[in-house]
Structure 1
Amino acid sequence: MLGRAGRRLLAAGAVLAVATGALAGCGKSDKAAETPPVRLGALLPLSGYFAPTGQPMADAYNMAIKEANEAGGVLGRRVEIVFSDDACDPGAAVVGANQLVSEDITVSVGGGCSVAAVPSLKIFRAAGIPMIIPGANSTDLLAPGYDSVFLLAGTTRLEAKQAVEAMGRLGVRRVAVVDDGTSFSDTLASETTAFVKEMDNGTTLTGRQRVSQGATSYPRVVATVLQQRADMVFYTGYYSEAAALIRDLRAAHYTGKIMLADAGTDPALLEQITPAEAEGLLGLSLPVAKFMPQAATWAARYRAAYGREPGPFTMQAYDAARLAINAIGRAGTLDREAVRKAIADTKPGDIRLLSGPSEFQRDGTQVNPTFLVLRAQHGAFVLSDL
């Protein structure tokens, strides 16, 4: 399940330094070989339920580092990336973030789960380490107002707005919102309920419920959905609990629509439910390579290197590493404040990101980030026409 990087981890929070492409500079000069590397750090889930998401992200980071080193590195140095396994767990994330700080990283480029990314904010801030976060997008990440935090995945507020707009286009009249209590899921659910009231597009809220992470069945939630006659269930949590909820809804012969947040719209979900249970599911998604023409060449390189399609957050992980290296080069130094400023000042002409605009607003969010609407069809997610 864990692949190359994960198999070498002994426990959640263990640190692994990967100098992918470190030999690319061999033969150029003894001095360059002796120069300490530039280190990036990435907290991501390499164990537990979410390892199927974290390991492809690790591959994307390695791909970016290898390409950078083959091009000569940055500031005359090779680049390394240090992974720490947060298992999408806040406690493991605190341990892992402190370990990454001790590894003298210049930029943190990790963050797949908001519940794990949020407690790492203060740790990296105290160390003066800027954060480029590829996957996590809870507005809780913006709450402290740090000028050193940059999101590549939009925000839960924007996702909520797009979800409610999709409900209006679908003619949904009664929506039940279900969350799992984690930072991402809770904030997305709260913002969705607020937009339902604010937008007044014909959709009303039947109620809001919460599932327990790790449970295998949710009969109480399903019974309430049926009793309230909701014609859509919008689940804002992660794919492992989404699978159990979908199975329960289908078993209860629920005939309404089911829509998932981007954390649930993952190919790993389709391995946990049958094609019949999946058919017709709707899901929001961050940009995914297979649906982005500008990423076709990159996706082919990824497939050739790792033997599988790039999954959710892989483009964002690749971009986070590339952006960090680009900013270090533009800063001309490893001084973290100078690098932070270079990231904040990034313009489209500085670097072309695959996953979205190469420009940030004052709050650290991308200018006009993209969300897609997908539909499950014949056992796979396809681009919806919504």
Structure 2
Amino acid sequence: MTPTLLALIRPRIRSAAAAPAARRGLLALAASALLGLATLVPPAQAQIGSTAPVRIGVIGPFTGASADFGVPMLNGIRMAVDEINAVGGYLGRPLELVVKDDMADPARGRALSRELVDEKVSATLGFCNTGVAMQSLEVFQQAQMPLIVPCSTGTALTAKYPGPESYIFRVQARDAIQAPFMVDDILKRGWDKVAIFADTTGYGEGGFNDVVAALAAKNVKPVHVARFPLGVKDLTAELTAARNAGANVIFSYTVGPENAVVANGKKALGWKVPQVGAWPLSFPFFLDGAKDAAEGALMVQTFIAEPSNERRAAFLANYARKYQRKPAVPMAAANAYDATYLLMYAFLGIRDGNLTGKAIKEALEGKMKTYYGVVATYDKPFSLQDKDAITANMLYIGMVRNGAVTFAYPEDARRNLIVQRKQ
């Protein structure tokens, strides 16, 4: 470990012992991250060579309808980068973010992806919307530039290219594991007459297919299917048809205010059936848009904003202190934070300073030290064949209670005390 890093770490460790509990957790997380980085830095090379910034692309919807989870993603990335730069960055080179706002527009996202390639960033973190990401994957793949996706869950993202060739990585639960996870839960509860409400975007289409496949694996067919475009304001007719079909649960797959349209429509009809779905049911568009109609909704989560252990308590405290508010979508912030550290750990596995796309790809696929993250403990998160870091054992069922997301099951809250590893 370098003297500079020791100087940074020791005061934090000494002060942690005397600090209040919440601050102690924050200091523990900072010290852990610093120690982890320190053990990876080559002592001789850390002090020599280029001091030019390592440029990292960031792309996502930071304004517009999807900004409610795009901004927390960006904030999680920035928080990690600030911590990394505080201990010297990569071999003495600071990390510099090149941020592009795709505004959830596929054509704009593709054009901005080309800009990132032209601006020669070393790698890119980003995408929240599956439809936007799908239009841009080819740009990164052809440029042999690693892309790590912290938010978008569309199954197709990491399936488009054969594993050994693919430069597309993800630190998020793909829909192909979210859908069966939720299907298993609703069938255990006896909700077997499923109505699916899915939008017609790439996200909705992929999620719809994953839900149908997960139901089919259990020999269940949906009793009603409703497809709708983004922006729909009234789904009364479709909800009435689902009720008449005997549905006892609604599985919604959409990323925007349309989830709230479903909930409010049910309430207006006086139809008290549960609403379940993927992680967008934890977004402000749903929680604020549906208010009391959102109560009891269930969704899949990798991260629930409760201080269940020191790592998570520290992350939440640090985020609130840095941005003067809680993350609007905690899962987006936490997954992005972890994705940034995983990229940094890959960089630190490249000891000659030559951050080519191929070198970064190979480091991500197997040359990294274990990273003790917020969402999970990442021990070999990727491989030549597997580009998804999150597995089903890392998932939880969240429930809307009093306008916030908490654990649906006490046993999940207890399980969350132990940070999971990939299975």
1:266 Cα offset (Å): 1.6
Q: Distance in 2 between matches of 1:246 and 1:255?
A: 10
1:336 corresponds in structure 2 to 357
Distance 1:315 1:211, change over 3 A: same
Cα offset, 1:152, TM superposition: 0.8
Report the counterpart of residue 54 of structure 2 in structure 1. Answer: 38
For 2:202 and 2:312, the matched residues in 1 are separated by 30
Q: CA deviation at 1:144?
A: 2.5
Choose 41-50 or 188-197, whichever is displaced more: 188-197
Alignment match of 1:236 (pick from 224, 245, 253): 253
1:371 aligns with 2:371: no
- TM-score normalized by structure 1? 0.86
2:151 is the alignment partner of 1:127 = no
Structure 2 counterparts to residues 202-351 of structure 1, below 5 A: 204-275=221-292, 277-290=293-306, 292-293=308-309, 294-310=311-327, 311-332=330-351, 333-346=354-367, 349-351=369-371
1:173 to 167, 180, 192: 192
Aligned structure 1 segments of 4 or more residues deviating by more than 4 angstroms: 31-34
Number of aligned residue pairs: 352
C-alpha displacement at 1:182, in angstroms? 1.9
Distance 1:57 1:37 in 2: 22
Aligned to 2:170: 151
Provide, for residues 254-284 of structure 1, a one-character-per-residue CA deviation record: whole Å limited to 9, x for no partner: 1211112112322442111222x12211122
Q: 1: distance between equivalents of 2:110 and 2:48?
A: 34
Counterpart in 2 of 1:78? 94
Q: Does 1:381 align with 2:405?
A: yes
**SS, match of residue 271 in structure 1:** helix
How far 1:292 moved relative to its partner? Answer: 5.0
Q: Residue 330 and residue 34 in structure 1: after superposition, are their counterparts in 2 closer, same or farther (change >3 A)?
A: closer
Q: Distance in 1 between matches of 2:281 and 2:71?
A: 17
Q: Would the aligned equivalents of 2:281 and 2:298 in 1 still touch at CA under 8 Å?
A: no
Give secondary structure in 2 for the equivalent of 1:215.
coil
- The match for 1:191 is 210
Question: SS of the residue aligned with 1:172?
Answer: coil
Cα distance in 2 for partners of 1:53, 1:363 equals 26
Q: SS of 1:108's equivalent?
A: strand
Partner Cα separation in structure 2 for residue 149 and residue 106 of structure 1: 14
Partner-residue secondary structure (3-state), 2:372:
coil
* Amino acid in the other structure paired with 1:35: T
Is the 8 Å Cα contact of residues 281 and 297 (structure 2) preserved in structure 1?
Answer: no
> How far does the alpha carbon of each residue in 1:133-175 deviate from its partner, in whole angstroms, 9 at most, with x for none?
1111211112232421111112211111101101111111200
Alignment of 1:89-108 (within 5 A): 89-108=105-124
Q: Which structure 2 residue ranges, 5 or more long, are not aligned?
A: 1-46, 413-423
- The CA distance in 2 between the partners of 1:41 and 1:193, in whole Å, is 35
The TM-score normalised by the length of structure 2 is 0.79
Measured after TM superposition, the shift of residue 367 of structure 1 is 5.7
More helix by share: 2
Q: Contact 2:201–2:229 at 8 Å: present in 1 too?
A: no
Describe the shift of the 1:52–1:32 C-alpha distance in structure 2 as closer, same or farther (beyond 3 A). farther
- Other-structure match for 1:25: none
Alpha-carbon contact 2:195-2:251 (below 8 Å) kept? yes
Superposed CA offset, 1:29-56 (max 9, x none): xx98983210111111111111121112
Q: Tell me, yes or no, if the aligned pair for 2:200 and 2:228 is still in contact at 8 Å.
A: yes
1:353 is matched with 373
- The answer to whether residue 69 in structure 2 is matched with residue 47 in structure 1 is no
Distance in 2, matches of 1:346 and 1:232, equals: 45
Identity %: 24
Change (3 A) 1:47 1:379: same
Question: Which residue of the partner structure matches residue 114 of structure 1?
Answer: 130
**Over the residues paired in the alignment, what is the CA RMSD in angstroms?**
2.0
Measure the CA separation in 2 of the matches of 1:257 and 1:367. 27
What whole-Å deviation, never above 9, does each CA across 1:288-337 have from its counterpart, x for those lacking one? 34365231112111111111223231011111221112211211221110
Q: 1:59 aligns with which of 51, 75, 96?
A: 75
- 2:156 equivalent in structure 1: 140
CA distance in 1, matches of 2:306, 2:367: 26
Contact preservation (8 Å) 1:86, 1:96: yes
Report the alpha carbon displacement of residue 342 of structure 1 after superposing the two structures with TM: 0.2
Q: 1 CA distance for matches of 2:214 and 2:240? A: 25
Residues 217 and 346 of structure 1: CA distance in aligned 2, closer, same or farther (over 3 Å)? farther
The amino acid across from 1:363 in the alignment is D
Q: Distance in 2 between matches of 1:315 and 1:197?
A: 32
CA 63–308 in structure 1, closer or farther in 2 if over 3 Å, else same: same
Distance in 2 (alpha carbons) for counterparts of 1:350 and 1:165: 31
Q: Which runs of 5+ in 1 are unaligned?
A: 1-30
